[in-house]
Amino acid sequence: MSLELASIPLRPAGQHLGVPSDLWLRARIVIAGTEHFVDLLRVQRDEKGVQRALSKDLDAMLGLHHWACGADGPFSTVKVGTRSYVLFVTPCCD
C-alpha cells in the first residue's frame, strides 16, 4: 500500500506550545477502523550530523519516538515542498 502525502489534509499543530506552524504538521487517518494521528516534524542535521527537530519542544518528541522504536540512527525523512520531515503514525487515544 502506498499513501501519498498530497492526499492527507495536513494542518499546522503545536500552537499550544508556541511552535511555528511549519515545524509540526498533523492529520488524522483511519486504519482498520481505528483513528490515527499522522505527525510530521521538521528536522535537520546538527553540526555533529545528529538529526534534530527544529524546535526544542519537538526535539523531545523526536527523541521519545526514537527511543520507543529502538532506532539506531536517523529516521528516514519525507519532503513537503523543499522541507524535510520525519513522519510518525500513532493511534489516537480513546
Region 53-80 average pLDDT: 85
Q: Residue 82: is its pLDDT beyond 90?
A: yes
pLDDT tens across 43-63, in order?
A: 998 898 888 899 888 988 888
pLDDT tens across 4-42, in order?
A: 888 999 999 988 888 999 999 999 999 999 999 999 999
Which pLDDT belongs to residue 35? 95
Q: Is the pTM of this model over 0.85?
A: yes
Contact in structure between 54 and 46 (CB atoms under 8 Å): no
